[in-house]
Structure 1
Amino acid sequence: MELTLRANLRSRIAARLGRKYLARIQKHGIGSTTISLLPEPLVRPLRRDGLDPVAELAEARRTTPVSKVPLPFALDAWVVTGYDEVKEVLAATDGFSTDFTNLAGNAGLGEEHNPGGLGFADPPVHTRLRRILTPEFTMRRLRRLTPRIDAIIEERLDAMAKAPGPVDLVEAFALPIPSLTICELLGVPYEDRDDFQRLSMARFDLSDGAVAAFGATSDSLDYFRDVVKKQRENPGDGLLGMIVKEHGDSIGDDELAGLADGVLTGGFETTASMLALGALLLLKDPETFALIRDAEPDSDTVNVFVEEALRYLTVVQLAFPRFAKEDIEVAGVLIPKGDMVLCSLSAADRDEVLTGDEGDFDPHRKSSGHLAFGYGIHRCIGAELARMELRAAFPALVRRFPEMRLAGAEADLAFRKLSIVYGVESLPVHLEGRS
């Protein structure tokens, strides 16, 4: 009896310390003060060597595609790196949960931190919310955005052409295009666009730690609650107005604000990173640059390049964390109930099972089945919108500035460190050739 009591006490202490450990990471972010607390295998999926996942990640995929990572205080996590194994986890809706309460329970977070939306919801809540959103992301409805996307791109290119000296493609091109496109999609009032872009960018700025990022998320939700209130009174033709017209009070203001914030989260930073890193791919490879510059509008050449760039870059490096609902096997490995599973999308998309080779960039490769948008019920609902933006933006950029080149050495570029969404901090270019 005494031994049992001691064991239970140790278990409770371990759980409490584990929650404090995770809460400290959540509060301060992954930085110099907390990185030492995380085991290297858990951090490895967030590391890159330029555009490539680190070599150790490829080695882990080859040897142990489902690997256990013991955490302090008897907590366990698993990192999945193989293509087939990642798909197996992402498809196992009955076996794994992404519900926010899993994180809340482990990291001591309250419901006030719940961002809402689809990413941290399980069926049937996820099913109901996705059913509401899906009609707004059909190609038929998205096509109405095509003229506006083209106009946004041309406006940005005109502004770049007038700018003196080197131009930062991140600030002048990659960030504004998806931000303004989502404005159009959601139906954000024109006079709010400056505030909207500020909210879009602030939520991903971790320079002041994760607390500031949570504050930006809270500000964004407050903003969208106000937008929802106005849409209730006078529904527009954007996504929020259409949902209000079709579903009325069957979806609450908080849920609708969470959906809008989720669209912002999933469609802004990811597409911005793809635009910046895709532009870098073109600048690094003159033959591919010329291929896209000379391609016919809406040609298969552009589509193939975009899909291969999505696979090769896989800017969303990790899928939403999964928690095992029960003891479950993945590729013959038993994952105990309650353990956290992290799926490395960037590692899976370089797997030779998918590519047939080492996974190097090939603009002629017809990449199909990549996981850049995830897989299963949590596959990115805005995938087609992102494709529309990328297919329009890349050809327009290289046709407008056919002599564009890096304004410095590639080795001097600053890439994000330990970021779930990988990207480059700035991308300075000369738009004209050498005089």
Structure 2
Amino acid sequence: MASTERVPDYDITRAAGCPLDPAPALRQVPGPLSRVRLWDGSTAWLVTGHAEHRALLADPRVSVDRTRPGMPRVTEGADGAMTDAEARRMAELAKQRSVPGLSFILKDDPEHARLRRMVTGAFSIRRVEAMRPAVRTIVDRFLDELTAGPRPVDLVEAFALPVPSLVICELLGVPYTDHGFFQENSTTIISRSSTALQRFEAMGNLGEYLDEMVGRRLVEPGGDLLSTVAERVRTGELPRQEAVGMAVLMLFAGHETTANMIALGTLALLEHPDQLAVLRDTDDPRLVASAVEELLRYLTITHGGLMRVAVADLELAGQLIRAGEGIIVVSETANRDPAVFPDPDRLDLRRDARQQVGFGYGPHACVGQPLARMELQVAYPALLRRVPTLRLATTLDQIPFKQDGFVYGVHHLPVTW
């Protein structure tokens, strides 16, 4: 492994004056593939270029299995470091409850592909398009409440978070009345500042909740996605704990990412009123779809990189990556690569941004991306048309950004009109 001398620290902190742009430290690294030093003094390869991003994520010689030696640990909490008291507490909890993992996203093929196929049908373009009228109804419901309520209002609490939460609840078959519970635990799981014990407890909370739901579907199946998963348990194709882990993944991934994109995308548009007008005033669904791709490219809410480890030697960008070496693949810089996106720091809703990698790439690309795209295509135009004079109720420097999350966004977004 290369010496840690003169190797820059891995720093994903975005600049206070440019919170919508990638971290300055990520943009200053030499070339599309370089070394960075992590919090514990170890080093990892950093992939920042677009072509290298796609090549690496499609390469079967890299693994997502976090139990493999060499997997990068970007925070002390992610590394599982605990005090003796925390370790004892985790051991006690492990005896009391069965804590699920995050199912197929942390597995390699062929097991990853086998499990993933069990849910891909629910997120097919045809199935998602059939949901569009129902999503419009949900969006209109929350916009009715928002416009009838007091102002200023927190757009995250009033619109960005409840819309995808209700959508995923209805898709899974989970009562929306419990949304506060799963939002609180989901936030703990994706926070970079959470300890290993806190994540373990949050996963256990969601696991117990969804294990009960899966149990109900085994007795009384319905037409929801939990029933589909439960049927796999009944036929013996899926262990019950794996089914619960799959449900946990879909529940929190199905609302956290889209909620952050709705809020952050709205902020970006408010900061670029000429582009806001493009989206607000068009009736062309193709332009709306293009605008969503550009917002996904420009903002790239995956925060902290995609962790991989090489399981065999491979060459990338003229460098040899040896088996056992850790790799961090950064999507936000890949989406600002000028070789693919001319003038990449400019938000241009008419740009062809279909090559954006905000959902990842290759076999582990986000399975729910058709649903996320559709929700954004409905939410942005509806909000901008219903509230055409929407504006920030504060200044950009007063908005609390999620620098501490594995998903980037804003904690609150005060708006008025």
1:158 aligns with 2:144: yes
Instruction: Please report how far the alpha carbon of residue 193 of structure 1 lies from its aligned counterpart in structure 2 after TM superposition.
Output: 4.5
Corresponding position: 1:270 with 2:257: yes
Identify the match of residue 140 of structure 1 among 126, 129, 147: 126
Q: TM-score, normalised by structure 2?
A: 0.86
Q: How does 1:186-225 map to 2 (within 5 A)?
A: 186-189=172-175, 192-204=178-190, 209=195, 211-225=197-211
With over 3 angstroms needed to count, the CA separation of the structure-2 counterparts of 1:115 and 1:104, relative to structure 1, is farther
Deviations 1:327-373 (A, max 9, x none): 22212211222111000100111001220234421111010111100
In structure 1, the residue matched to 2:104 is: 118
Q: Is residue 2:52 matched to residue 1:66?
A: no
Secondary structure of the structure 2 residue equivalent to 1:249: coil
Aligned amino acid, residue 58 of structure 1: R
User: TM-score normalised to the size of structure 1?
Assistant: 0.82
Contact 2:294 / 2:353 at 8 angstroms: preserved in 1? yes
Count of residues in Structure 1 that have an aligned counterpart in Structure 2: 391
| Residues 250-304 of structure 1 deviation map (CA, whole Å, 9 limit, x = unaligned) | 11211111111111233221111110111012211222222222211x6212111
User: Which protein has the larger Cα radius of gyration, Structure 1 or Structure 2?
Assistant: 1
Tell me the secondary structure at the aligned position of residue 333 of structure 2.
helix
Alpha-carbon contact 1:46-1:419 (below 8 Å) kept: no
Q: Give structure 2 stretches of 5+ with no counterpart.
A: 1-5, 74-78, 82-90
- Among candidates 247, 255, 267, match of residue 280 of structure 1: 267
Instruction: Return the match for 2:346 from 360, 364, 371.
Output: 360
Per-residue deviation at 1:212? 2.4
**2:91 corresponds to 1:99:** no
Q: Please state how far the C-alpha of 1:103 moved relative to its aligned partner.
A: 7.0
3-state SS of paired residue (1:101): coil
The equivalent residue for 1:172 is: 158
* Equivalent in the alignment of 1:43: 10
Please name the residue that 1:83 is paired with: 50
Would the aligned equivalents of 2:102 and 2:249 in 1 still touch at CA under 8 Å? yes
Contact 1:304 1:365 in 2 (8 A): yes
Q: AA paired with 1:395?
A: P
Residues 1:409 and 2:375 aligned together? no
For the residue of structure 1 that corresponds to 2:415, the secondary structure is: strand
Name the amino acid aligned to 1:98: V
Residues 192 and 59 (structure 1 numbering): CA distance in 2 closer, same or farther, change over 3 Å? closer
Q: Are 1:127 and 2:93 an aligned pair?
A: no
Preserved CA contact (<8 Å) 2:102 2:245? yes
Task: Name the structure 2 match of 1:390.
Answer: 376
Given that 1:304 and 1:366 are in contact with CA atoms closer than 8 Å, whether structure 2 keeps it comes out as yes
Which of 240, 243, 254 pairs up with 1:253? 240
Q: Which stretches in structure 1 are left out of the alignment for 5+ residues?
A: 1-38
How far residue 119 of structure 1 moved from its aligned partner, in angstroms, is 1.6
Distance 1:265 1:339, change over 3 A: farther
Q: CA-atom RMSD, angstroms?
A: 2.8
SS at match of 2:36: strand
Query: Which of 74-83 and 382-391 deviates more?
Result: 74-83
Change (3 A) 1:234 1:165: same
Q: CA deviation at 1:214?
A: 3.1
1:42 touches 1:79 (CA, 8 Å); kept in 2? no
Aligned twin of 2:307: 321
Cα distance in 2, alignment partners of residues 194 and 422 from structure 1: 20
